[in-house]
Amino acid sequence: MSIAVLVDQPVNGPLRRALVHGGAVNVTCPSPASTALVMFARKLIGDAFGGRDPELAQFDLPAAEHDAILATLTWRFAHHPETTRIIGDLLLERGADPETTYVGPPRLSASTGNVSGADAWRPCRDTWCSAPPAQLDHWVPVFDVDPDDAMTLYPSYFSRAIANDSASYDHHDPRRAGRPRPGPTEPVDPFSATTFVTSAGGVLQFSGQHLRSDAPTECDRTRFAVEFDSVDVGDIRAGLGARNVDGRCAGSSIRDFARAVDRAPIPDDVCAALDRRGEPAPDRVRDDRTRPAYTEA
């Protein structure tokens, strides 16, 4: 099947979301809110590295110290109230319904390239990790990226089943955080890969059903990107979303989401529609009424 790539087109409303549930990819240029998100991320990154060039600091620091800085930095970004506020602004700017749009935990990803000697993540679908079928993924580079340092999708696999080990993944298993993400157990055609290169602050939006990976990182600079997921509870209540062609995981990440504008928890009926088991793991709770207030270390 062909996959549409929509450039600077409207990205919200039921019909537009249906296109993404069907595999379409949205690419949008930087906007006021996405630029604010990038500038805030850059501030935290700059503070963390104390004046060093954060994209090259891996060469100035011992690996253990660099890893420790990244661990503290990514935790601070994920839990900072300004992060969630700006992401809420970005979703509203893009036309999201403030009553029905919920967002998952934000992430600041850092790929250190070939200096670490680590291979890029093997391809994975977020739906193999218990993502809701209606989940929309958002990827925003913090600095400009190159074709060998961006986000790669495998569009031809969107509706095509591939052998994988997602049956070993249970979202309610407290040990899952220390395990590798599920991945294919058969070869993935490397010529099916499409790498999306946007300027800093550009937004790549796609379904959590897409097979995705980091592009093979050959450059020497650390790549920083903001990633977050969203769902519209109206889509879930209507049974809408991408078709599951090969996922066998257990549980659902739906309880990790909170309303973008006020952090209200996902309604009980929406949780029950996807997962009748338990509560989210303590490290994933996003309800601000139960999460300790953010404080600077």
Q: At what angle do helices 32-49 and 63-79 cross, to 10 degrees?
A: 140
* Position 296 in a domain: no
Residue 295 belongs to a domain: no
User: What is the mean pLDDT of the segment spanning 212-216?
Assistant: 78
pLDDT 10s digits, 137-177:
999 999 999 888 889 999 999 999 999 999 999 999 988 87
CATH number at 243 reads 2.60.120
Residues spanned by the domain of 180: 5-284
pLDDT of residue 119: 44
| pLDDT of 286 over the 70 cut | no
Give percent above pLDDT 90 in the chain.
Answer: 79
Structural domains counted in the chain:
1
The verdict on residue 153 lying in a domain is yes
Residues 6+ apart with CB under 8 A from 172: 250, 251, 277, 278, 281
**pTM of the complete model:** 0.92
Contact 141, 150 (CB under 8 A): yes
Determine the Cα–Cα distance for residues 111 and 96; give it in Å rounded to an integer.
30
Q: Is the pLDDT of residue 200 over 60?
A: yes
- Do β-strands 101-103 and 151-153 pair in parallel, antiparallel, or remain unpaired? unpaired
Specify if 297 maps to a domain. no
Confidence of residue 278 (pLDDT cuts 50, 70, 90): low
Residue 164 covered by a domain: yes
Contacts of 180 (CB under 8 A, 6+ apart): none
Q: With respect to residue 294, please indicate whether it lies within any of the assigned structural domains.
A: no
In sequence order, what are the residues at sequence separation of 6 or more whose Cβ sits closer than 8 angstroms to the Cβ of residue 166? 125, 128, 129, 182, 246, 247, 248, 249
Q: Assign 285 a pLDDT band (cuts: 50, 70, 90).
A: very low
The pLDDT > 70 percentage for the chain reads 88
Q: Look at residue 95 and tell me if it is in a domain.
A: yes
Binning pLDDT at 50, 70 and 90, where does residue 11 land? very high
Residues β-bridged to residue 139: 204, 227
Check residue 179 and give its pLDDT.
Answer: 82
60 lies in some domain = yes
